[in-house]
Structure 1
């Protein structure tokens, strides 16, 4: 269950975040929020939502543009990828309209807006690799089995991510503190796990080295840093030590 805020008598000294994580967090905050300084005309959420809203249409455009250039553009893999990545973008928009994350509402500089737009466009490169025929995927299973695996991973990841974000949003509106039940009962960062499953499914569909390189940067340089910093913050609660000992960081029985 969600704990209440610790009182002065029950508060504990929080664990200090590792220097490497703190340093990377400062770098990420600068790049994503303060790059170049100056005016802050946009909210971070606006940049993200624009990319999410455009994904379905961008992939559809690529399929039309390359339709007379390569059979990959209208292959079953291209249609499956459109359904997976395009629909995920629309799902994200629905989630943001229903229970927006306060962390995305921060206004950012023009430099950070451009940096974020580039970072998000890298996700579009996954679809381009597949639809343009640049990637020539050779799946380790029959195509229909591989499509089923990727779609299942995407759907399950979306469910985990949305359920975890919804639980966090609505629980913290009522009571502040640790969330230790529901989606957080067995793992401490289910929202990140869901996101990794979603984008991992896209990379598995493409079967090219570039998506995995980009995901390694995002997962290692941003996701892992955020999770380490979050745990350092949560360590101020008296319940934290017990909760940490009986849960997994990201994947049950693995890590």
Structure 2
């Protein structure tokens, strides 16, 4: 089996897990619960489509059952957000609901568009540095999109635990991956110039001052 099999299956079943929580807590008349289902449930479906059409090669690595269960357990931490939302019958203010939808929409655009651009770049321009389009000012626009997506999920419950879990994932998984990728891409002659005009995660609007270093 591959890592993607465990990741895809977990993301695909998330909508059903949220529906089960709604049934358990009798949250059928809770607007925020339905919104959470629409956001996180649709994201799971989008992820599976992406995996089949232009999946990330890094998730093709072989994976044993033990490590696969670790992946499942880690991703299941994100289910704490809907549980807190429904168990506490939280109904966020209308402006906050709108903010979460906006964050989700922008995140979906960045995440999936950036991954599609990377997929096409690797297919038609292999061996070239990807430093244009969505990647011109941010070296990780796909991670930025994912951060916004999950940011919308963890905001809805109005509880400190889900944002802390997201921060944990960012610090332990995402940030090391971004740093590792920077070190790998430093082999390209044009990387130093790209690094000077781009941010690691958030887009850099102004180039870094001083001499460009590799």
TM-score higher than 0.5 = yes
Whether 2:168 is the aligned partner of 1:217: answer yes
Give the Cα–Cα distance (whole angstroms) in 2 for the partners of residues 183 and 114 of structure 1: 34
Residue in structure 1 matching 2:31, options 66, 72, 76: 76
Cα shift at 1:253: 4.7
1:60-209 paired onto structure 2 within 5 Å: 60-67=19-26, 74-133=29-88, 136=90, 139=92, 143-175=93-125, 176-209=127-160
Cα shift at 1:136: 4.5
Give the Cα–Cα distance (whole angstroms) in 2 for the partners of residues 144 and 110 of structure 1: 43
Q: Structure 2: 5+ residue runs without aligned partners?
A: 209-214
C-alpha contact (below 8 Å) 2:197/2:204 kept by paired residues? no
C-alpha contact (below 8 Å) 1:51/1:120 kept by paired residues? yes
Whether 2:2 is the aligned partner of 1:47: answer no
- For residue 108 of structure 1, give the secondary structure of its aligned residue in structure 2: coil
Give the Cα–Cα distance (whole angstroms) in 1 for the partners of residues 48 and 64 of structure 2: 23
Q: Structure 1: 5+ residue runs without aligned partners?
A: 1-41
C-alpha contact (below 8 Å) 2:198/2:204 kept by paired residues? no
Deviation >3 Å, runs of 4+: none
C-alpha contact (below 8 Å) 1:62/1:73 kept by paired residues? no
C-alpha deviations, 1:117-146, integer Å up to 9, x for none?
Answer: 10011111211111222x756x5xxx2211
Give the Cα–Cα distance (whole angstroms) in 1 for the partners of residues 162 and 113 of structure 2: 26
Comparing both chains, which one has the higher relative contact order based on Cα–Cα distances under 8 Å and sequence gaps of 6 or more? Answer: 1
TM-score with structure 2 length normalisation?
Answer: 0.90
Give the Cα–Cα distance (whole angstroms) in 1 for the partners of residues 35 and 78 of structure 2: 16
Count, aligned residues:
205
- Residue in 2 aligned with 1:250? 201
C-alpha contact (below 8 Å) 1:184/1:190 kept by paired residues? yes
- For residue 156 of structure 2, give the secondary structure of its aligned residue in structure 1: helix
Which protein shows a greater Rg?
Answer: 1
TM-score with structure 1 length normalisation?
Answer: 0.76
- Residue in 2 aligned with 1:12? none
Q: Considering only aligned residues, what root-mean-square deviation do their CA atoms show, in Å?
A: 1.7
- Residue in 1 aligned with 2:178? 227
